[in-house]
């Protein structure tokens, strides 16, 4: 009998219950007990939704991040929070965001602000994790309380459990040694703690433990490959069965290594690593379970169940009870439930499957394999009809867009002059001081903004009233920036719900869910638009709002756009054509908007490519092909403007040092990029690479409520000035200010402006 299981479930709740509970707690509006009760209720609800699986994950729920959870389970706390006393959950939030509940900002020094942990992207997803911190002196000490608590809850609910852990080798790989020591040298200290944890779980009656080692789908050198052999030989005698899980790609040259590790079972991603399956079956030792991820855990399209069964049925005959089925990865990356959707039209909805529906697809596959296709004939027939309807739909394919794509020329991706010539013209036109100050684009999305948007969508506020409300917010934003003394202003994006959804709503080829939320980090959730067809721009998207903002000030006003690569990577993207083709369609649409902004006198245009890095394939050997079309797509958006128009771009929260040459190839006049949480680590790239254009290393960490000091910003920028000529440096936050409050933003930006004045006096 083929068994079915799940690697992880979305933790935020179908209605973002966890988000709102977290923010209420952090703002001091609810208690710790209320937050923990909500967490328990969500876990119970999610286990109920997974009923019918042969085993259900436990430990996949996190209040902020699963990697941070693992750090606390292993007793690996940054030194700066070890002396804090009180509830462990508050210490957890200090690492995640710099502090816990705002109600604690009094004389109780246990709740004072600290530097938040560095945050970066989880492999090639839009999920962010808190980076573990190491040094040569790092020690580990087990704290299994979180897992044991959740395990007890699951047992009480009658759930057949499978605890989920991040594996020891991946855990070390994900972290950073703050003293440049060898992370792998910590493995001998770490493995006994993992062994103790597995013994503890066995004592609770656990049979199987899922141990995630996704770095096995990356290109590992011999040292890291040997670390896997060392680790799993030492854990082989533990009294539980280990299901070693890999996902997000193919094992390739790591296939033989992985197949022969001394574990009871192996999970592989059969969506992105289908080529691994047949060779793995030949290499697997007798008796070892093979779990195949046959349902896409990263996208929302229905699975072609009949095609999957055609492929699986021979494997089921060959493997028998050794064959398990699951989604390709944790369902963390998709929304919870399609059934509650009312906004999507019936046709597009019939093509989709969210987390709950993906598990139902899994059950149907299992039934078909174990009882024969006749047992689910009606479901398979309906699935076949939906797959075929999507393939043939006229809404998906637009011949005019395909013709426009064929008309792209190399000249469309070239600026008229090199940067050095453009810079002279831009300096003369903009007349900016040294160390010019700006922000990334968004300002706080206040309760008033959200209320006006909600009332407009529900019909309680007419269009004129909505526009008046947005204009008032834009005017406020301009006034505040002028009062602060910022040099290049933004309109604040009051009218925008999300930096991708806002544009997708105005492009043909997109659809939008009502509750299709997924977690990006902590309480931050995004609702990726659904890119289902060929893309075109029917009309201008930003001219009205940005033109109004420019009319209010004599200072330069940045036009704010999201770039084609980011729109692509932060959408649920059609899977019936190469991503490169879809990206160039988006590039043509954004190019039209750029030219329209220039035509109405906007001289500074920022085209954000925050997600450029996360789209990189996990294997370095495949990077160049991606970067070629990604950079070309960005350059298509900018290639039509005059030399005088200054093009900016922005990137955030990823490792950029290894693609700095590709970033330079984008040929933006100025780039703003996150450096605050990583302590200006980006500057290491400039030891070996002479970045040719202007750069704003983000010096204000907007993901923490902590307010930076001017002295701290001066110190960071002084470090930057050692590597980059001062005439090419900007001063800016590391990301947009949408998630912050005005009472945090104003003093933080005041410190930033004061720092810029000091820099002009001392380094100018």
Catalytic residues: 703
Region of 112 (left: φ > 0; alpha: ψ -120 to 50; beta: rest) is: beta
Distance separating alpha carbons of residues 229 and 122, to the nearest angstrom: 24
173 among the known binding-site residues?
no
CA 425 → CA 485, 550, 744, distances in Å?
24, 21, 36
Distance separating alpha carbons of residues 280 and 277, to the nearest angstrom: 5
17 among the known binding-site residues?
yes
Contact 474, 481 (CB under 8 A): no
Residues, the chain: 764
For residues 360-382, b (16+ Cβ closer than 10 Å) or e, as one string? ebbbbbbbbbeeebeebeebbee
681 among the known binding-site residues?
no
- How many DSSP H helices and E strands does the chain contain? 26, 22
121 among the known binding-site residues?
yes
Distance separating alpha carbons of residues 158 and 145, to the nearest angstrom: 20
Say how many CA atoms lie within 13 Å of 531 toward its Cβ. Answer: 31
DSSP result, 74-142: TT---GGGTT--S-HHHHHHHHHHS-S-GGG-SS-GGG---PPPPEEESTTSS-EEEPPEE-TT-----
Tokens of 159: 């759930």
Q: Would you say the C-alpha torsion 352, 356, 357, 361 has a positive or negative sign?
A: positive
Distance separating alpha carbons of residues 126 and 248, to the nearest angstrom: 13
How are strands ordered across the β-sheet holding 323-327? 3-4, 323-327, 289-295, 265-269, 241-245, 208-212, 161-166, 56-58
Contact 563, 607 (CB under 8 A): yes
111 among the known binding-site residues?
no
DSSP result, 382-400: HHHHHHHHHHH-TTT--HH
Helix, strand or coil, per DSSP, at residue 432: coil
Which residues have CB under 8 Å from 86's CB, separation 6+? Answer: 110, 111
Instruction: Decide the pairing of beta strands 572-573 and 241-245.
Output: unpaired
674 among the known binding-site residues?
yes
* Strand boundaries in 108-251, DSSP class E: 119-121, 128-130, 133-134, 161-166, 176-177, 208-212, 241-245
Distance separating alpha carbons of residues 63 and 453, to the nearest angstrom: 29
614 among the known binding-site residues?
yes
Contact 514, 340 (CB under 8 A): yes
Helix, strand or coil, per DSSP, at residue 359: helix
Q: Check residue 570 and report its DSSP letter.
A: T
For residues 86, 89, 91, 95, the Cα torsion angle rounded to the nearest 10 degrees is -170
For residues 76-109, b (16+ Cβ closer than 10 Å) or e, as one string? bbbeebeebeeeebbbbbbbbbbbbbeebeeeee
Q: Check residue 302 and report its DSSP letter.
A: P
Q: Hunting for tokens 């997708």 — which residue is that?
A: 504
Which residues have CB under 8 Å from 333's CB, separation 6+? Answer: 125, 126, 127, 297, 298, 518
Tokens of 493: 């994006």
Q: Which helix (H) or strand (E) holds 607?
A: strand 604-608
718 among the known binding-site residues?
no
The span from the first CA to the last CA of the chain, in angstroms, equals: 73
Helix, strand or coil, per DSSP, at residue 695: strand
Q: Which helix (H) or strand (E) holds 366?
A: helix 355-371
204 among the known binding-site residues?
no
The residues with which 177 forms a beta bridge, in sequence order, are 134
477 among the known binding-site residues?
no
405 among the known binding-site residues?
no
19 among the known binding-site residues?
yes
583 among the known binding-site residues?
no
The residues with which 67 forms a beta bridge, in sequence order, are none
- Known binding positions for 5-methyltetrahydropteroyltri-L-glutamate: 16-19, 121, 524-525, 570, 614
- Known binding positions: 16-19, 121, 440-442, 493, 524-525, 570, 608, 614, 650, 652, 674, 735
- Known binding positions for L-methionine: 440-442, 493, 608
- Known binding positions for L-homocysteine: 440-442, 493, 608
């Amino acid at each position: 009998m083929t068994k079915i299981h799940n690697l992880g479930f979305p933790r935020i709740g179908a209605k973002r219950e966890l988000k709102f509970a977290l923010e209420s707690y952090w703002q001091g509006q609810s208690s710790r007990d209320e937050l923990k009760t909500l967490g328990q209720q969500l876990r119970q609800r999610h286990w109920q939704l997974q009923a019918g699986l042969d085993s259900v994950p436990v430990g996949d729920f996190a209040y902020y991040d699963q990697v941070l959870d693992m750090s606390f389970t292993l007793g690996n706390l940054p030194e700066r929070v070890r002396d804090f006393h009180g509830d462990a959950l508050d210490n957890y939030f200090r690492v995640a965001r710099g502090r816990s509940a705002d109600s604690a900002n009094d004389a109780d020094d246990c709740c004072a602000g600290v530097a938040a942990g560095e945050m970066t992207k989880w492999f090639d997803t839009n999920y962010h994790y808190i980076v573990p911190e190491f040094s040569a002196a790092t020690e580990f000490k087990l704290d299994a309380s979180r897992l044991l608590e959740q395990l007890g809850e699951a047992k009480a609910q009658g759930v057949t459990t499978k605890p989920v852990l991040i594996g020891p080798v991946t855990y070390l790989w994900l972290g950073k040694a703050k003293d440049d020591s060898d992370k792998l040298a910590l493995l001998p200290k770490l493995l006994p703690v993992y062994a103790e944890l597995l013994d503890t779980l066995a004592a609770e009656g656990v049979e199987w433990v899922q141990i995630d080692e996704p770095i096995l789908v990356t290109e590992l050198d011999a040292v890291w490959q040997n670390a896997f052999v060392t680790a799993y030989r030492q854990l082989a005698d533990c009294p539980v069965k280990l299901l070693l899980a890999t996902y997000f790609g193919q094992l390739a040259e790591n296939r033989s290594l992985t197949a022969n590790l001394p574990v009871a079972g192996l999970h592989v991603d059969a969506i992105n690593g289908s080529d691994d399956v047949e060779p793995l079956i030949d290499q697997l030792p007798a008796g070892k379970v093979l779990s195949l991820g046959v349902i896409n855990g990263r996208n929302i399209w229905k699975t072609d169940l009949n095609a999957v069964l055609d492929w699986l049925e021979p494997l089921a005959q060959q493997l028998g009870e050794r064959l398990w089925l699951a989604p390709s990865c944790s369902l963390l990356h998709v929304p919870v439930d399609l059934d509650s959707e009312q906004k999507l039209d019936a046709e597009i909805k019939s093509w989709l499957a969210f987390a709950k529906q993906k598990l139902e697809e899994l059950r149907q596959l299992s039934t078909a394999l174990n009882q024969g296709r006749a047992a689910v004939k009606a479901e398979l027939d309906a699935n076949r009809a939906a797959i075929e309807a999507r393939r043939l739909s006229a809404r998906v394919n637009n011949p005019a867009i395909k013709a426009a794509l064929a008309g792209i020329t190399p000249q469309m991706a070239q600026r008229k002059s090199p940067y050095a010539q453009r810079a002279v013209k831009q300096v003369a036109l903009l007349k900016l001081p040294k160390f010019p100050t700006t922000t990334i684009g968004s300002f706080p999305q206040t309760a008033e903004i959200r209320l006006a948007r909600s009332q407009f969508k529900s019909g309680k506020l007419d269009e004129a009233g909505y526009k008046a409300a947005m204009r008032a917010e834009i005017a406020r934003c301009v006034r505040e920036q002028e009062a602060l003394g910022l040099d290049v202003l933004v309109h604040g994006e009051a009218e925008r719900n999300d930096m991708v959804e806002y544009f997708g709503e105005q492009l043909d080829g997109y659809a939008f869910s009502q509750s299709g939320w997924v977690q990006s980090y902590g309480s931050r959730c995004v609702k990726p638009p659904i890119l289902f067809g060929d893309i075109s721009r029917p009309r201008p998207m930003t001219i009205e709002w940005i033109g109004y903002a420019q009319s209010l000030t004599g200072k330069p006003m940045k036009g704010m756009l999201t770039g084609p690569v980011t729109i692509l990577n932060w959408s649920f993207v059609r899977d019936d054509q190469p991503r490169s083709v879809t990206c160039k369609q988006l590039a043509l649409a954004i190019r039209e908007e750029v030219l329209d902004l220039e035509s109405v006198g906007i001289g500074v245009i920022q085209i954000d490519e925050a997600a450029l890095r996360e789209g990189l394939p996990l294997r370095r050997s495949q990077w160049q092909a991606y970067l070629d079309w990604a950079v070309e797509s960005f350059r298509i958006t900018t290639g039509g403007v005059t030399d005088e128009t200054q093009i900016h771009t922005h990137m955030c929260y990823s490792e950029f040092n290894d693609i700095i040459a590709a970033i330079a190839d984008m040929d933006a006049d100025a780039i703003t990029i996150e450096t605050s949480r990583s302590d200006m680590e980006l500057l290491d790239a400039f030891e070996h690479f002479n970045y040719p254009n202007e750069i704003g290393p983000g010096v204000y960490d907007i993901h923490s409520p902590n307010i930076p000091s001017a002295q701290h910003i001066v110190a960071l920028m002084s470090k930057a000035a050692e590597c980059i000529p001062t005439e090419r440096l900007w001063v800016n936050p590391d990301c947009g200010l949408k998630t912050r409050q005005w009472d945090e933003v104003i003093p933080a930006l005041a410190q930033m402006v004061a720092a810029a004045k000091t820099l002009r006096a001392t380094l100018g």
